[in-house]
Amino acid sequence: MMINNNRMMRFVIGTRGSKLALWQAEYVSALLQAKGAQTQIKIIDTKGDQILNQPLSEIGSKGLFTEELETELKQGFIDLAVHSAKDMPSMIPQELELIAFSEREKVNDVVVSLNPALTLKLAVEQNLKIGTSSTRRRATLNHYYPGIHLVDMRGNLQTRLRKMEEGQCDAMILAYAGVYRMEMSQYIVEELSEETFIPAVGQGALAIETAVSLSADKKAFLRSTLNDIDTEYCLLAERSFLKTMEGGCSVPVFALAKLEGDNLILKGGVISLDGTRQIEGIQRGNTQDALTIGNRLANDIIAKGGLEILEEIKRHKK
């Protein structure tokens, strides 16, 4: 009887329209269908998709890639929205909730280029152009490779690759997960250490968002089918850190949680826009205290001088 009920269950999945976003939605759809559910994918344009001629930091960070999907959730036009977890703002509307996180892919940032011999060290020496649209990546590159030639690079992965082929940049910094999922790993020329290039909060995982009002049986089905508990512990800690730091796309904060048995280790920090000041910290605790660990790390970073960096960034944005 349970199987029959699941087969009758139907979900409308909201997603952005990029090739990567569609891959993510189809991945989620396949998991749901494997458990007997019926699915339909609905493509929704977001502000971040529509405005491609400005850096993300100039548009504003709140809901750039999520706001329109969240409107559809509130109005009941879709049952769930599939997001890249790193695109999720630290706070979501009270009518909505994150109910599942997919198993995480490798979290590293990578250098992508048509030149297999290119490295970041070589890029600095030869004044090559490195493309990125991420404030965090720009600041981190400025920190470890002062003098590096950075250019803004917006658009989906295929668009960015075309821009690189046209000579707008010599290489790009991207998340491994997206490059791998788009079967473009052959362009990876350098994998950046997660110990130094600590990734964005949530990088490598998918976040499943629903309306609070969605039926309990649908929520239970989604969570049991899609949620990876180890990833959830890590992202709860990382997102708690982000929330206390009041971070977003235009604020270069970073955090990565790892599990060792029942223990959670969270490393994170903030870096100034020019890369000259970086403050990091580590907090540990039981997985059940993930939210507390994230909040504790953020308060530690703030106390060690992070507040001054955050205030400087806010002044710069104004």
Identify whether 213 is part of a domain. Answer: yes
Q: Which tokens sit at 292?
A: 């507390």
Alpha-helical runs (H) found in the chain: 2-8, 19-34, 47-50, 56-59, 67-74, 120-125, 135-144, 157-165, 176-181, 216-226, 229-245, 290-301, 307-317
* Residues 223 and 253 occupy one common structural domain: no
Name the average pLDDT for the chain.
Answer: 90
* Residues 185 and 212 occupy one common structural domain: no
Alpha-helical runs (H) found in 35-175: 47-50, 56-59, 67-74, 120-125, 135-144, 157-165
Q: Which tokens sit at 262?
A: 């029942």
pLDDT digits (tens, 9 = 90+) for 153-171: 878 888 899 999 999 999 9
Identify whether 198 is part of a domain. Answer: no
Say how far residue 64 (Cα) sits from the centre of its chain. 12
Report how far residue 3's alpha carbon sits from residue 9's, in angstroms, rounded to the nearest whole number: 10
Identify whether 22 is part of a domain. Answer: yes
CATH number at residue 187: 3.40.190.10
pLDDT digits (tens, 9 = 90+) for 183-196: 999 999 999 999 99
* Residues 233 and 293 occupy one common structural domain: yes
Identify whether 163 is part of a domain. Answer: yes
* Residues 49 and 121 occupy one common structural domain: no
* Residues 264 and 280 occupy one common structural domain: yes
Tell me whether residue 87 is one of the annotated catalytic residues: yes
* Residues 223 and 77 occupy one common structural domain: yes
Residue 179, CA distances (Å) to 20, 40, 108 in order: 9, 25, 11
Strands 278-286 and 263-271: antiparallel
Report how far residue 60's alpha carbon sits from residue 247's, in angstroms, rounded to the nearest whole number: 12
Identify whether 9 is part of a domain. Answer: yes
* Residues 122 and 135 occupy one common structural domain: yes
pLDDT confidence band for 8 (50 / 70 / 90): confident
Taking the CA atoms of residue 181, residue 63, residue 231 and residue 100 in that order, the dihedral angle to the nearest 10 degrees is -100
Pick the catalytic residue from 45, 49, 79, 87.
87
Nearest to 316 by CA among 154, 141, 138: 138
pLDDT digits (tens, 9 = 90+) for 80-92: 999 999 988 888 9
- Positive or negative: CA dihedral 223, 80, 217, 90: positive
Q: Are 86 and 202 in contact (CB under 8 A)?
A: yes
Identify whether 40 is part of a domain. Answer: yes
Whole-model pTM: value is: 0.90
- The helix or strand, by DSSP H or E, that contains position 14, with its residue range, turns out to be strand 10-15
Identify whether 70 is part of a domain. Answer: yes
Residue 97, CA distances (Å) to 110, 188, 214 in order: 31, 35, 10
Look at residue 10 and tell me whether its pLDDT is greater than 50: yes
Identify whether 20 is part of a domain. Answer: yes
pLDDT digits (tens, 9 = 90+) for 213-262: 999 999 999 999 999 999 999 999 999 999 999 765 568 999 999 999 99
CA angle 194, 197, 199 (to 5 degrees): 75
CATH number at residue 253: 3.30.160.40
3-state helix, strand and coil shares in percent for the chain, rounded to the nearest 5 = 40, 25, 35
* Residues 96 and 118 occupy one common structural domain: no
Burial class (CB in 10 A: 0-12, 13-18, 19+), 165: exposed
* Residues 232 and 89 occupy one common structural domain: no
> Pick the residue with more confidence: 206 or 87?
206
Q: Are 297 and 289 in contact (CB under 8 A)?
A: no
Nearest to 293 by CA among 246, 301, 101, 108: 301
Q: Which domain holds residue 142?
A: 109-191
Count of domains observed in the chain:
3
* Residues 98 and 238 occupy one common structural domain: no
* Residues 157 and 223 occupy one common structural domain: no
What pLDDT does residue 251 have? 80
